[in-house]
């Protein structure tokens, strides 16, 4: 049995609350994390996947991880070893982060380890006006956080720091930029204290798309990501293409996976 708690939500009876529409939306917005759990259950015991994990022994110097990989039969064993309170949990998770720089499977293990924390930290950002699950923003941000994590300087509380980095990237940083943009400032401020502005979210996305294009990601995938960024909602893109929102989300997930693979290999 997997140690990752179920992320699905049971719909409440209609009589439990007058907000039936919100209840139905909550059921729909759990679909993304349920897909991740189903993917994990499919992956974690596959012989080829477990064989890939065992091959990491040639690339790690961590004795505890080496011993674990020697007899591994289920990737849930890696998740168990990185749980708070386990010996060398931070060190093993940190080693998986290092391995993920060149191995997507290692990154997938780290994402699964972070998933409960990502769901919990993303939940307050759910919009009551959009069916988008906030986890759909937090998980891609987690991949970026894993890739950028400073494994030399940040050696403790690794899981908590990665979750914090991901939610900051996905939610808090855009909110801070929006709030900063709402405050007027005197023109002299910019003359007296010039600053170099941080790249906006759209600028960061443009950089990712540009790097993905240079790495050979199909143009159709990149066009879809651009369209989603402009529209701001999968349902709008679905209407434009004459397909269901689910179809667009599936295409988006495949496009993100190809972009992620290309950037990790770069």
> What are 192-210's pLDDT values in tens digits?
454 455 566 666 777 787 8
Q: What is the pLDDT of residues 208-237, one digit of tens each?
A: 878 888 888 888 888 888 878 777 778 788
pLDDT tens digit sequence for 115-137: 999 999 988 887 644 667 888 88
**Top-confidence residue, 200 or 158:** 158
Q: What is the reported pLDDT for 48?
A: 95
Model confidence, pTM: 0.59
Mean pLDDT over 139-168 rounds to 94
Task: Specify the pLDDT at position 17.
Answer: 38
Tell me which of 45-54, 59-68, 179-188, 196-205 is least confident. Answer: 179-188
Across 166-194, average pLDDT: 59
**Is a pLDDT exceeding 60 seen at residue 51?**
yes
What is the C-alpha separation between 216 and 223, in angstroms, rounded?
A: 13
**106-115 pLDDT per residue, tens:** 999 999 999 9
Question: Has residue 142 got a pLDDT over 80?
Answer: yes
Lowest mean pLDDT segment, chosen from 5-19, 43-57, 154-168, 239-253: 5-19
- From 28-37, 173-182, 206-215, the region with the lowest mean pLDDT: 173-182
Long-range contacts of the stretch 165-168 (C-beta < 8 A, 24+): 165/141, 166/114, 166/118, 166/121, 166/138, 166/139, 166/141, 166/142, 167/118, 167/121, 167/122, 167/138, 167/141
Does 7 score more than 50 pLDDT? no
Mean pLDDT computed over 166-192:
59
If you average pLDDT over every residue of the chain, what do you get? 79
In the numeric block, the tokens 């003359």 are attached to 191
Q: Residue 183 — pLDDT band, cuts 50, 70, 90?
A: low
Burial of 168 (0-12, 13-18, 19+ CB in 10 A): middle
pLDDT of 24 strictly over 90: no
Cβ 238 vs Cβ 248: under 8 Å: yes
Picking from 116, 113, 74, the residue whose alpha carbon sits closest to that of residue 95 is 113
Residue 197 confidence (pLDDT): 58
pLDDT attached to residue 202: 63
């Amino acid at each position: 049995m997997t140690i990752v708690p179920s992320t699905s939500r049971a719909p409440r009876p209609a009589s439990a609350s007058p907000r039936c529409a919100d209840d139905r939306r909550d059921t729909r917005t759990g679909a993304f994390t349920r897909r991740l759990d189903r993917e994990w259950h499919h992956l974690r015991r596959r012989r080829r996947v477990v064989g890939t994990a065992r091959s990491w022994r040639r690339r790690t110097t961590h004795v505890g991880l080496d011993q674990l990989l020697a007899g591994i039969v289920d990737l849930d064993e890696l998740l168990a070893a990185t749980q708070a309170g386990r010996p060398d949990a931070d060190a093993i998770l940190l080693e998986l982060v290092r391995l993920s720089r060149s191995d997507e499977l290692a990154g997938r293990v780290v994402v699964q380890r972070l998933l409960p924390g990502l769901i919990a930290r993303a939940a307050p950002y759910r919009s009551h006006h959009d069916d988008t699950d906030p986890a759909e923003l937090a998980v891609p941000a987690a991949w970026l956080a894993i890739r950028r994590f400073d494994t030399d300087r940040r050696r403790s509380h690794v899981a908590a720091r990665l979750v914090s980095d991901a939610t900051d990237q996905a939610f808090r940083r855009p909110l801070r930029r929006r709030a900063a943009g709402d405050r007027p400032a005197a023109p002299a401020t910019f003359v007296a204290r010039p600053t170099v502005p941080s790249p906006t979210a759209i600028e960061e996305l443009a950089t990712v798309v540009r790097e993905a294009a240079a790495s050979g990601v199909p143009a159709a995938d990149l066009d879809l990501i651009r369209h989603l960024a402009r529209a701001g909602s999968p349902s709008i893109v679905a209407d434009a293409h004459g397909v269901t929102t689910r179809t667009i989300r599936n295409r988006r997930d495949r496009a993100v996976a190809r972009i992620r693979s290309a950037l990790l290999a770069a």
